[in-house]
Amino acid sequence: MFESLQHLINGFGIAGTGQNLLYCLLGCIVGTIIGVLPGIGPIAGIALLIPATFGLNPTSAIIMLAGIYYGAMYGGSTTSILLNVPGETASVITCIDGYQMAQKGRAGPALAIVAIGSFIAGTIGIFGLVFLAPPLAEAALAFGPPEYFSLMVFGFIVLSNVTGKSFLKSLMMALVGLIIGTIGLDPVSGNARFTYGSVPLLSGIEFVAVAIGVFGIGEVLVNVNQPSELLDQGVLMPRLRELYPSLQDLKKSIGAILRGTGIGFGVGLVPGPAPVIATYASYMIERRISKHPEEFGKGAIEGVAGPESANNSACQAAFIPLFVLGIPFAPPTAILLGALLIHGVSPGPLMISQHAELFWGVIASMYIGNFMLLILNLPLVPLFANILRIPKRILLPLVILFCITGMYTVNNSVFDIWMMLIFGAMGFLMRKWAYEGAPLLLALVLGPKLEVAFRQSLMISHGDFGVFVNRPVSMVFLLLTVIFLLLPVFQIIIKSLKKGGISGVKS
């Protein structure tokens, strides 16, 4: 442990050089801008800037590229809060309560708590990286297809139960999302499915199109459908002292931030879209344990603090499998793997000993990067919050242009814009009839992975469904799913027993 601390201190020495500080700052700024712009994700940002790092030494290059990754995660939450347009896939859950906070004139506290939560998560995450990296990465390898399948089923059931007012409606949306996710190429056999000769559909429905459509365009259309006089209003604007979180806000958020950090770190070790899953898991838990769950969906600060901390923490944890095992578990880290190989560094168990300078330098730079993001973004909170002063008559068209442009940049395809508009109309109707978008989006992301896990599990077991219950980890997740499903029944039974007990006592 002391040896690791010594290495970390050396790492700060490496990351703290003028050159590396500059590259870290550049990465954070570029990443934040990329995160704010919908459509351009960290993958594109990292990929676009790899050539710019050819002249740099490997440590500086990875410091800058890593800065883009977590800077983008940070920036994605800004548009989620202000405009209900998720800048990143992992920022979708922030739209639920963050946007509602902004609508109540509390955009400032929402943005500030994202900065603070991300910083705290980043700080704790650094220590997790240093001390828990090797054993946690080994444990993550124990997950096979049956475990992934059971975990994802558990996630869907739980998420459907904590978003929206109707469990059944949320579950139906999750299934619709899973079905939409089957459009394109069969992930196992490679056969086209539900494409009917359409070439753009071969790659499936773009997640960003659905996310921006359902949340961003849908919200715009809801506003456009309002009486004309309401469009002259900006959002209720707070006084200067209300631009930052109060002591009560901080008290409410700290628990959520710490829990989100733990959840994000654990989930970040699992292959797949870890930041997305981490944010959903955090939201679910915060809502479950809250003394005022009815506030969620209406601007509960815990609903922003927890998921955003989980997001940041998951991004950091994603570096563990990359550096320690040489296995990228998330698409952005896959691009980083490419960057490492280009610079002549082979990540894996020997990386720590052969490239100690790079390993500890990058880890230390993450802490510095989080600090830079806090310094960069906290003063900008009033500026961002003032965007909401713009009357809706002017703001809404700007949001539409923003969405269309961002959408086009994903694949340079007008087809994606059409998809976004279709899902925008669907998002409007979903809002009208109280159907939640979050389960649909999670299902769209996880659907292909769920199918692969399902089919691989059955191939391994030669068609025997027992594979899901014979493996302990999978069994645990399925048991938890059943318990969760039966929880309302238990609660009703306990309530009626208590009532029966009380009336028995009275008589």
Partner 1 sequence: MKRDEIAVGIVIFIFGGITVLLSLKMPIGTFRMAGTGMFPLILGIILMILSGAFVLKIFFQGKEGQVKKEPSPESSESPMQLILFLGAMVLATLFFNQLGYPLTSFLLILSLLRILGIKRWGLNILISVVTAVGSYFLFVKWLDIPMPKGWIGI
The type of residue at 74 is Y
Q: Which is nearer to partner 1, 139 or 394 (CB)?
A: 394
CB of 423 to partner 1, least distance (A): 13
Chain centre to alpha carbon of residue 246: 26
Classify each residue of 376-401 as buried b or exposed e, where b means 16 or more C-beta atoms within 10 Å of its C-beta.
Answer: bbeeebbebbebbeeebeebbeebbe
CB of 498 to partner 1, least distance (A): 23
How far apart, in whole angstroms, are the C-alpha atoms of residue 341 and residue 185? Answer: 30
Tell me if 311 sits within 8 A of 296, measured CB to CB: no
Q: Which is nearer to partner 1, 57 or 223 (CB)?
A: 223
Q: Which is nearer to partner 1, 114 or 221 (CB)?
A: 221
Q: Which is nearer to partner 1, 187 or 326 (CB)?
A: 187
Tell me if 133 sits within 8 A of 402, measured CB to CB: no
CB of 357 to partner 1, least distance (A): 32
Residue 185 pairs with which residues in a beta bridge? 192
> What does the chain come to in residues?
507
What is the contact surface with partner 1 in residues (CB under 8 A)? 40, 48, 165-166, 168-169, 171-172, 175-176, 178-179, 182, 186, 188-189, 191, 193-194, 221-222, 224-228, 231, 392-394, 396-398, 400-402, 404-405, 408-409, 412, 414, 417-418, 421, 425, 431-435, 451, 454-455, 458-459, 462-463, 465
Q: Which is nearer to partner 1, 208 or 257 (CB)?
A: 208
Q: Which is nearer to partner 1, 108 or 448 (CB)?
A: 448
Classify each residue of 185-209 as buried b or exposed e, where b means 16 or more C-beta atoms within 10 Å of its C-beta.
Answer: bebeeeeeeebeeeebbeebbbbbb
Taking each helix axis as running N to C, give the angle between helix 167-181 and helix 145-162, from 0 to 180 degrees, rounded to the nearest 10.
Answer: 140
Q: Which is nearer to partner 1, 7 or 193 (CB)?
A: 193
Tell me if 308 sits within 8 A of 125, measured CB to CB: no
Q: Which is nearer to partner 1, 375 or 459 (CB)?
A: 459
N-terminal to C-terminal alpha carbon distance within the chain: 64
Token duo for residue 386? 């003032």
Q: Which is nearer to partner 1, 33 or 356 (CB)?
A: 33
Number of neighbouring beta carbons within 10 Å of residue 22:
13
DSSP string, 255-299: HHHHHHHHHHHHHHTSSS-HHHHHHHHHHHHHHHH-S-GGGTTS-
Chain centre to alpha carbon of residue 149: 20
CB of 40 to partner 1, least distance (A): 7
CB of 436 to partner 1, least distance (A): 12
> Residue 370: CB partners within 8 Å, gap ≥ 6?
70, 118, 119, 122, 123, 312
Q: Which is nearer to partner 1, 20 or 160 (CB)?
A: 160
CB of 312 to partner 1, least distance (A): 24
Q: Which is nearer to partner 1, 2 or 433 (CB)?
A: 433
How far apart, in whole angstroms, are the C-alpha atoms of residue 262 and residue 253? Answer: 14
How far apart, in whole angstroms, are the C-alpha atoms of residue 88 and residue 307? Answer: 13
Q: Which is nearer to partner 1, 188 or 492 (CB)?
A: 188
Tell me if 82 sits within 8 A of 283, measured CB to CB: no
DSSP code for 155:
H
> Residue 206: CB partners within 8 Å, gap ≥ 6?
410, 411, 416, 419
Chain centre to alpha carbon of residue 247: 27
